[in-house]
Amino acid sequence: MAVEIMLPTLGESIADATLLRWLKRAGDEVKRGEELAEIETDKATMMIECPADGVLLTVLAEEGSVIITRQVLAVVGQSGEKWDVAPAPEKEFTLPRAVVSQAPGPSLRSTLTDERQRISPGAKKLAEELGIDVQQVSPSRSGARVVTADVQRYAETLRGEAAASVHLPSHRVLLTRAGKVMAERMLASARLIPQFSASIEVDAGQLLTRREQFRRKTEAEGGAVTLTALLAYLVVRALRQHPLLNARFDGDSIVVYDTFNIGVAVTTSQGLMVPVLHRLEEMSATEIARRLTEVAIAAREGRLTPGDVADGTFTLSNLGMFGVNQFVPLVNPPQSAILGVGTARATVVPGLNETVRAAQRMNLTVSADHRVLDGETVAQFLKTLREIVERCEVDISDPPLISEDQR
């Protein structure tokens, strides 16, 4: 029996992807689980796997084209088998009910799909704000829709033409899809989210001591507990006491998550990626460290799956390893908050009896969505997090939310 190969649901914030290349051609024999195609989403590059043994009967999507969730990409079955592709779900199209009372036919569906992919809502709004005729803007990739980055590039071209008399040595660096999407998301974050930030300085001495203790215990097993893993573990404890930082704004309400899925910013050759560590409330520090290592390697090698980047509820960005003392990150939509971590630096602080003592100090900065959070709530979270970090009561075999009477 012929089986349709569709673009699966990739997460609530991902509606489409770009089909980069087919690894198999029509007529090729294929096996269940074999990689058929490479796609690129807003967040990662990933593979489409074959759902059954047989022959690739047909390929329906072209390389370089934009594909949407549940679109049929190909059909696999037995050689000579007849097949018929079912129409895409009606919910994938926004149709005025008074005009269209039933699912459109193939030609209308194709026209509507092309129009929907012609320009994103954000790009349309930006073009209107800049007074640009969007019909003059071309997408960066053939078959793709116009996005905000394309409108920005066109606007820069117009500004460049106006200043054509100025010639400076330069060269152009083309963005990857991941880079373009990150640019769009950060623009949306800055333009659409009323955000503010607050910082606090913590004594990181105990944190660093525990990290070294765990490193010696776990390095032999190939899973050293890193500072980022320890912080993710401790952040979950603070979020449990301040749940609005583990939430998102949703029109006339706030959605507060009951699980803790922490996104961790990772720099790759394709740009910034934010793989997600899911259900950290159920994981020990060792398990968090092991999973963090797995997703970081997958991100740098371009092997992240849709599940690896979906459903984040809070983000942690650590630039301390680069010697950065403090920075203010942008909120990662649609989350309500993000934590920026600076380096632990040696300093001296006042001690007892008018003495001074050596200390390791670290800056923690939270950027927050003001529609969800106010300054006092964020300040209380930072105060709680400081107390938790400075105590750093961690048993590497226990999950972070184990009750006190179980310790």
Cis ω on the peptide bond leading into residue 89 (within 30° of 0)?
A: no
Beta strands in 262-313 (DSSP E): 262-264, 266-268, 271-273, 276-277
Question: Residue 387: which H helix or E strand, with range?
Answer: helix 375-391
Average pLDDT, 10 consecutive residues per value, the chain (407 residues) = 82 74 90 88 79 89 84 87 63 34 38 52 77 78 71 76 61 78 83 93 92 77 79 95 96 94 88 90 90 90 86 94 93 95 88 78 96 96 96 76 46
What is the Cα–Cα distance from 373 to 369, expressed in whole angstroms? 6
Given this model, what pLDDT does residue 382 score?
97
DSSP β-bridge partners for residue 17 = 67
Query: Which residue, chain included where needed, has tokens 């989403």?
Result: 41
What is the Cα–Cα distance from 258 to 266, expressed in whole angstroms? 25
The 3 state secondary structure assigned to 311-337 is CCCEEEEECHHHCCCCCCCCCCCCECE
Q: Where are the alpha helices (DSSP H) in 79-204?
A: 106-118, 121-130, 148-162, 177-192
For residue 6, the one-letter residue type is M
CB 66 within 8 A of CB 144: yes
Q: What kind of architecture, by CATH, is found in domain 3-86?
A: Beta Barrel (2.40)
> Which fold is adopted by the domain 119-179?
Dihydrolipoamide Transferase (4.10.320)
In this prediction the pTM is 0.64
Select from 379, 387, 228 the least CA-distant residue to 315.
Answer: 228
Given this model, what pLDDT does residue 147 score?
78
Given this model, what pLDDT does residue 103 score?
38
- Whether CATH 1.10.3720.10 fits 195-406: no
Domain limits, the chain: 3-86, 119-179, 195-406
